[in-house]
Structure 1
Amino acid sequence: MIRILETDITTQRVDAIVNAANEGLLGGGGVDGAIHQAAGAGLLAACRALAQVRPGVRCPTGEARITPGFDLPARYIIHTVGPVWEGGLDGEPALLANCYRNVLRLAHEHSLKSLAFPAISCGVFGYPPDKAARIALNELGKPAHADFDIRICCRGDEMIDSYRRAGLSLLS
């Protein structure tokens, strides 16, 4: 089941919340900063302990990593790095789809059943909400993921409307 909610992702009692992170995984602005703040200092320490794949990069764009949830009501945080929008001709749609695929892969591997997602890449990374919502719902709505309880946690009318329109377009 997929639900689109206007809510604060850091309050969700789920197996895992998804963090729209940056490649360093050391916190930032937007949802990433809110998750780091709500999770407490343990999250920063856990992220620092993750191996760097190259200097300053613990999670390349399109990939995902998992940490405990620390002070959050979620047991885990699955961090993923969405693409920065460069007009759509630099592989952004495939990279964004990979974010969702890799988060779901980790959720399956850890036997997680409930997930809360933000609008990955739609904040400071500039991905157009309507385009991002279609990709998100297309990936999350695949039959292989029907056993998940998925919450898409949006902030503001524009984001909610983008996800609702995308949901309707996928049904038609």
Structure 2
Amino acid sequence: MTARIDAVRGDITQSDCDAIVNAANSGLMGGGGVDGAIHRAAGPELLQHCRDLKAHYPCGFPVGAAAAIPGCALKARWVIQTVGPNRHRGETDPADLAACFANSLDEAVRVGARSVAFPAISAGVFGWDGDEVARIAVDAVRRSPVLGRLDLVQFVLFSDELLAKFQRALSTR
């Protein structure tokens, strides 16, 4: 059996999934958009877990890598930190974006999560086109060798426009 994959409009910080993925920046200390929302909702304890993780990456958390930290005050048990490629900095390789999704799923399974919620990584301030993010994300999730070890992979989108793009990507094979 393989995981159900769907897309919903909502607030990822309210997700009932075991793990939510944070579109973090390489400094891991919080920021705007999804990252800021997750930090605010999780509470100040999350920042300490980020500091602990950052200590292992003095040059910054690498694009495409993924690491789980406790969800603190969130419903989700885990927050999986990943850094998407920033198109404005010339980071335009689709494989780097796909790695964010694939490695986050691997990390979710490693910590025992059965359900994972993703935002549209890199579709905001990092400048990637929403349609491109949706296609890459859906393809990376569908190709994941750990998909059979999950019950649900959900894309939680903050706008109707992004939701439509992800629903379109999910409807194609």
Structure 2 SS opposite 1:152: strand
Partner SS, residue 71 of structure 1: coil
Q: Which range is displaced more, 140-149 or 33-42?
A: 140-149
Identity percentage of aligned residues: 44
Report the secondary structure of 2:68's partner residue: strand
The amino acid across from 2:16 in the alignment is R
**How do 1:8-157 residues align onto structure 2 when only pairs under 5 Å count?**
8-50=11-53, 51-55=55-59, 57=60, 59-86=61-88, 90-142=91-143, 144=145, 145-148=147-150, 149-157=152-160
Gaps of 5+ in 2: none
Q: Deviations over 1:32-66 (max 9, x none)?
A: 000000000000011111124234x1x21111111
Deviation at 1:91, TM superposition (A): 4.5
For 2:93, give the aligned amino acid: E
Report the residue type matching 2:62 in the other structure: P
Match of 1:168 among 153, 167, 171: 171
Tell me what 1:2 maps to: 5
Cα drift, residue 90 of structure 1? 4.6
SS of structure 1 residue aligned to 2:87: coil
Q: TM-score, normalised by structure 2?
A: 0.90
Question: Which range moves more in the overlay, 76-85 or 157-166?
Answer: 157-166
TM-score, normalisation: structure 1 = 0.91
Matched residues in 2 for 1:105 and 1:147: separation?
A: 10
Question: Do 1:85 and 1:126's aligned partners in 2 also have CA atoms closer than 8 Å?
Answer: yes
Tell me if the contact between 2:6 and 2:170 (Cα under 8 Å) persists in the aligned partners. no
The runs of at least 4 consecutive aligned structure 1 residues that moved more than 6 Å come to none
